[in-house]
Amino acid sequence: MLLTAAVATATLLASTACTAADDLSSNPPAEEASVSNATRDLLSARTIDAARSALDAGADIEARGDGGATPLIAATKRNDVDLARMLIGAGADVNAKDDIQDSAYLYAGARGHDDILVLTLENGADLTSTNRFGGTALIPASERGLLSTVLILLEAGVDPDHVNDLGWTALHEAIVLGDGSQVYVEVVRALIDGGADVTIADGDGATPRELALARGYDAIAAELDR
């Protein structure tokens, strides 16, 4: 009788303990749930006040949302300068990359978001970091004819002779993927004045001058002959 009662009591205690453990695993402490909600709020924040409120509630500033983007990368891709400034001021990593290897620094440089680019440069941007094509921020900026961005990056010290995975430098891309218009003439001039080596051949052995002449870009060829 006593033995039976003891076994029954032990079984009941074990069952209670298991139930309690299950409850803890399925219902995390309120503090953890609060942080998770705060992080979700930060990832969806579109205003400084909303982002600051989420951070004050314990949000993870480096949390990943759609496409692996941090809140700073997402703000940069929207060119939301004010929100990007606040997040950087709060400690966001300007070099963190998303699933396609964009960071706030690299994307701002590639798209000509100069205000955000300057903020990243002032807050630890890695000038040697590369995108999914193995290129620095200077290469796509040159490709797109973003003269002001090119000048900012050259002034910051980005290597004008870096070769990407396609075998091209910024000078090659400005010629091959540009249209030979005046803005590209000015980009080529800026790259040369910034130290670009005009003798570096592409993966097929063609020099920048040869690439320009083949496309009828005489004004660019003249810059290369200076």
For the chain, domain boundaries? 130-226
Does domain 130-226 sit in CATH 1.25.40.20?
yes
The predicted structure's pLDDT at residue 36: 83
pTM of the model as a whole: 0.84
- In degrees rounded to 5, what are phi and psi of residue 97? -115, 150
- Select from 162, 170, 64, 72 the least CA-distant residue to 120: 72
Residues in the chain: 226
Express each pLDDT in 189-206 by its tens digit: 999 999 999 999 999 999
pLDDT tens column, 202-226: 999 999 999 999 999 999 999 999 8
pLDDT of residue 77: 98
Longest Cα–Cα distance of the chain, Å, equals 106
110/130 Cα distance (integer angstroms): 11
Candidates 62, 55, 27; CA nearest to 41 is 55
In the Cβ-directed half-sphere of 110, how many Cα atoms lie within 13 Å? 19
- Neighbour tally for 207: CB within 10 Å: 16
